Structure 1
């Protein structure tokens, strides 16, 4: 009978690798590092008003229990990479950090229009649709072969300890001297209604709130809850 001798350090390395993969999402962090490095060193810089793109495939690790389409949660995960590409190419994140601020996800909603089959290549677009002093709103589209939009997502990015409007103005001046296309002065209608629904949800969860507020059209305050709707 043959006996396989495994050195002690090899056994420790194997056990450590299994423990690392079992407790840390290695694929996520590796892909995030790749996405940011590619955006910083190999992609063209973009204006904050530009629409940026990243690509992904629906792999077997992305499918639902029904085994024939992408899991709904994977769409939200893919948005992390799309935003990282946008932040890096526009210089938004680095300038916010340089100003002593930070940015975090405050709310998101996604509308599923048609499922994505395994091994389908998807193009994810990202663009800023509106901002004020404290908030940046972004829209993402999941576009499949033939140009069909499989899903649309809206995300509210909360900026703290600095003004996102001032940062955006600085980026516009640095990128094109302020001569690019007009920036959004008014919140789109569908975004405005979503913001109102977030504020109503926030008011309902506040213990001190006796009644829900009547929000007028045009109110730009947004709550921090996440919503999801399907088509």
Structure 2
């Protein structure tokens, strides 16, 4: 029997699947009537599974994985997934930009605060802040773009009272989208 567990552990990233199940259970058990404009907080600790080759701080890729779980919490607790799916839509990760300010040490507890900051016809944009405990220092800031399929996001957001008026586009998102457009144009010219 133990060899089956070892085989599964080697073949699949069991930690990811266990964490996903735990995340979906906590969503089901938590208050799920948050507004889309609420800040949704998730909690974690930098474990030995998260560290880089020097074994002393969180690996850059693990920050991105934590964003997955933070978004799952936001989608579930705001009931965004279910409403989007009932309208025939879906979302997927489109892009992420992240700025690392200070390393997150091994065994350091932290929270990720996820906030919806803007949307356009095709996407919603989140700001995620990694904040260490107990000092409250912002270790990293990320912006993620979630691409929607089969719906016009601006029209879809109108069903949420708190989203009747779209906020101003943050300057960093405007610059980021300009850089993405330049990159896309260069790739098209190369092809």
TM-score interval, smaller chain: over 0.9
Query: 12, 17, 27: which one pairs with 1:24?
Result: 12
- What is the CA–CA distance in structure 2 between the aligned matches of 1:208 and 1:65, rounded to whole Å? 36
* Corresponding position of 1:168: 157
Provide the secondary structure at the position in 1 that maps to 2:111: strand
Q: 1:185 Cα shift?
A: 3.1
1 or 2, which has the higher strand percentage? 2
* Corresponding position of 1:196: 178
RMSD: 1.7
Structure 1 unaligned spans of 5+: 1-12, 173-177, 210-231
- What is the CA–CA distance in structure 1 between the aligned matches of 2:10 and 2:174, rounded to whole Å? 42
Query: 131, 135, 138: which one pairs with 1:143?
Result: 131
In our comparison, the structure showing a higher alpha carbon Rg is: 1
Query: 30, 34, 38: which one pairs with 1:50?
Result: 38
The answer to whether 1:121 aligns with 2:103 is: no
Q: Which segments of structure 1 move beyond 4 Å, counting only runs of 4 or more? A: 180-183
- The superposition leaves residues 88-132 of structure 1 with CA deviations (integer Å, 9 ceiling, x where unpaired) of 011111111111111111110100000011111111010111012
- What is the CA–CA distance in structure 2 between the aligned matches of 1:64 and 1:133, rounded to whole Å? 38
Residues 55, 123 of structure 1: 8 Å contact kept:
yes
Residues 129, 138 of structure 2: 8 Å contact kept:
yes
Residues 117, 167 of structure 2: 8 Å contact kept:
no
Q: 1:84 Cα shift?
A: 0.1
- Residues paired across the two proteins, number: 190
- What is the CA–CA distance in structure 1 between the aligned matches of 2:126 and 2:12, rounded to whole Å? 28
TM-score when normalising by structure 1:
0.77
Q: 1:183 Cα shift?
A: 4.6
Provide the secondary structure at the position in 1 that maps to 2:174: helix
